[in-house]
Structure 1
């Protein structure tokens, strides 16, 4: 279930990214225009041109500088989101026995009522123990990167400077053309970041993260392979920052684990009762009410007969 949720999230991200990159239109003469190009790409091109002039005319270093600035601005927010996700992972270990039992019941459920009851029980387990169904990973950092991604894509794709061979060369390859080597580097660095994210967590949680470790780098590889190499350079440098962010969380994980352990000792995990006893109790209550009603009817009938005599 979690794997499907992660894959669905990645699919939505990829779809929105492709939508943003496809918002640039062209006139009959080939000149780009549109909201994305006019308000995002053009200002980004001006920034890149300014940075390139400061860095000896190198647009490769300009892209690296832009990536560095963006990642440094987003780093505190990304670390905080990763910290929240780590807290959620540590809390999950404490409700694992109950969660396993509910998952077994969910697998064996046959009727819609049984499935609905088990789903409500699972939601109650998460809610009562302060655990997010999404794992604590907010969407804000991802949403912030969408316009940045669209701006860089359009700026690199339609940059006159990068279209010319003289200005677009960086480390021997053209930033304006797709490059398999940079796409492979982007794939490897995000694969490394995914592996670093599994350090220090239980083996069971590692299994649930395997799909993300593969799917996310593959998605970045295919986007980088089809896009100009300048965007692949952005992904590669961004992946290095992602690795640094993951290592920071790894170093802080023992403190997070100790904090969660102290919290759980103070407020032990709440046990969510299965729906069957509730149904049984409801049936018993119904039966008791019915018996009392029948008894009252007998007493009333006896009174009426005595009064008649």
Structure 2
């Protein structure tokens, strides 16, 4: 669990680093050079402009539509990640029993604990790292979309609802909604793991980080976060229960 949290924090740090790339203030066009620009950022920028033109030149609606499209594209990865997370939750009692059985810190005992833990994973068909792989696949897409929003000049010149897409939300409504939906989405995803201190820490740190970022960046990015979070909340709601039932049934069948 600690390794997974460290991995998530590393990815968040990577996002922060990439967010500050020198090209972030350079407009994206069809002539932009580099693999990152040509195959990630520009296609997403083009998609935003395309849907904006279809929707009466509304770049706010276009960001919403493209966000949903991207989330649908990576949905299979997120389902796999959620399923693995729930399977890990289902075997937590057995893992805790192993830790209690091999509580000694000597090297031989710890080696035995690792062997028994791996055997437990194989028994239930669980890969502790499988939930992390989708993060590596989806992050370039999400970071590319972030760059597309920040570097598409047309977005900065339009408004949506009460805010200008190229400026910060004057009333801080979107940043607060982004933080609240991040908290709710994580709370739903972490159901059953609330007693884990590291997970509790992530539950509160991530929303705060999102609010800080959202307050500092243009409202278009906050809109993207809000829509993405709402999609994730709905996705988690519909995926969570069936997977939990399946995990319980599987565990019961093997006993």
Interval of TM-score (by shorter of Structure 1 and Structure 2): 0.7 to 0.9
Q: Please give the per-residue CA displacement for 1:60-109, whole angstroms capped at 9, x wherever unaligned.
A: 1111111111111222221122112211211121242221243x423xxx
* 1:307 aligned partner: none
**Residue aligned with 1:206, SS:** coil
Q: 2:211 and 2:178 mapped to 1: Cα distance? A: 6
* 2:200 aligned partner: 210
* 1:16 aligned partner: 14
Q: 2:187 and 2:55 mapped to 1: Cα distance? A: 34
* 2:212 aligned partner: 222
Larger radius of gyration: 1
Q: 2:127 and 2:19 mapped to 1: Cα distance? A: 27
Please list, as runs of the form range in 1=range in 2, the aligned pairs for 1:87-102 lying within 5 A after superposition. Answer: 87-102=87-102
Q: Structure 1 unaligned runs (5+)?
A: 107-113, 266-309
Name which of 184, 188, 191 aligns with 2:176.
Answer: 184
Give the deviation of 1:46 after TM superposition. Answer: 1.5
**The 10-residue stretch of structure 1 (4-13 or 18-27) with the greater mean CA deviation from structure 2:** 18-27
Q: 1:10 and 1:72 mapped to 2: Cα distance? A: 22
Distance 1:144 1:177, change over 3 A: farther
Give the deviation of 1:38 after TM superposition. Answer: 4.3
The answer to whether the Cα contact below 8 Å between 1:182 and 1:233 also exists between their aligned partners in 2 is: yes
Name which of 140, 143, 146 aligns with 1:150.
Answer: 143
Is 2:251 the counterpart of 1:260? Answer: yes
Q: Structure 2 unaligned runs (5+)?
A: none
The answer to whether the Cα contact below 8 Å between 1:193 and 1:243 also exists between their aligned partners in 2 is: yes
**Residue aligned with 2:141, SS:** helix
Distance 1:62 1:262, change over 3 A: same
How much is the aligned-residue C-alpha RMSD, in angstroms?
2.6
Is 2:192 the counterpart of 1:194? Answer: no
* 2:225 aligned partner: 235
- Aligned residue-pair number: 244
Q: Please give the per-residue CA displacement for 1:137-174, whole angstroms capped at 9, x wherever unaligned.
A: 4333222322222322222222221222xx2x111112
**The 10-residue stretch of structure 1 (219-228 or 151-160) with the greater mean CA deviation from structure 2:** 219-228
